[in-house]
Amino acid sequence: MDKLGFIGLGSMGGVLLKGLLDHGAFSQKDVLVSTRTKEKIKDFMARFPEVKIMDSNIELAKESRTLFVCVKTGDVRNVLLEIKPHLRTDVHLIIITGGLTIKNIAKIFNGKLTKIIPSITCEVGESVTLVLHYPLVTDQEASRVEKWLSCLGLVMVIDEDHFDIGTDLTSCAPAFWASILRHFVQAGLKHSRFSQQEAEEMVLMTFLGTAKLLQEKKMGLNELIARVATKGGITEEGLKVLDEHLPFVFDELLEATLNKHQIVKSSMDRLFA
């Protein structure tokens, strides 16, 4: 098959490529990688020895039919300007960076373009990947990319105006859930002699079981709550507290993140002007 290039193996780029390779989306020998920090990918190369490390972004761009740009938001413009003269005429460019609009990118590269937002949970094949294809991307090319990403979990093709809130509900959410669980564990420790490890194991296993129960039994959220919280019971008392306070907490959380999205977008609009 045609070569797949990955520029950047940082936090999200590395997780995405590892997930795709681990779950058999494509073969190691078809992958080219370019990264500024080659000394930091020794573990990656030991795990995936057939992946070819290129000397530069330009050399990678010349050989890649599908090219993933996995660098920080503020670095995308310079990378695009660097590789644009060397891209194949049939290249399919995939940007994984939030904060950039298709309109921004099209000012430099107005070809076959797809924007995706992956999640760190793709490393374990249980993620939601948000996808938007630019009109020049063919149905075959779109299907090929979505097939690769489906190895990592659910693929959702959405409109660009849903990317901000979609990112909060998927890519950002693992950190939000981890923070909530951390606070829950800390509260439990105040009222017990459990160790930190014991409390975390109890909460994490219950969290995992809850997610599996909802998904595998196709149970709705309200149904699960009703099954656990009997009328006049202990769980119901806890739910009263959550129902009183959590709506405000999550409204405030999303107001903060959506405001930050707009700040980043405004900055990128100026950068790509």
Q: 3-state secondary structure string, 61-108?
A: HHHEEEEEECCCHHHHHHHHHHHHHHCCCCCEEEECCCCCCHHHHHCC
Average of pLDDT values for 183-195? 97
pLDDT digit string, tens, across residues 257-272: 999 999 999 999 999 9
- Answer for the pair 71, 10: CB distance below 8 angstroms, yes or no: yes
Residues 9 and 104 both lie in one domain: yes
Average of pLDDT values for 134-152? 96
The angle formed by the CA atoms of residues 136, 161 and 262, to the nearest 5 degrees, is: 120
Residues 9 and 113 both lie in one domain: yes
Question: What is the spatial distance between Cα 205 and Cα 215, in angstroms, rounded to a whole number?
Answer: 15
Among 35-49, 95-109, 228-242, 258-272, the minimum mean pLDDT is found in 35-49
pLDDT of residue 16: 95
Q: Which of 127, 143, 164 is the last residue of a domain?
A: 164
**pLDDT confidence bin for 1, thresholds 50/70/90:** low
| C-alpha dist (Å) from residue 205 to 72, 196, 211 | 34, 14, 10
Q: Which of 164, 197, 228 is the last residue of a domain?
A: 164
Domain that holds residue 159: 3-164
Mean pLDDT across the chain: 95
- Inform me whether the pLDDT recorded for 39 exceeds 80: no
Residues 121 and 37 both lie in one domain: yes
pLDDT of residue 36: 84
Number of structural domains in the chain: 2
Among 29-43, 57-71, 180-194, the minimum mean pLDDT is found in 29-43
Residues 137 and 247 both lie in one domain: no
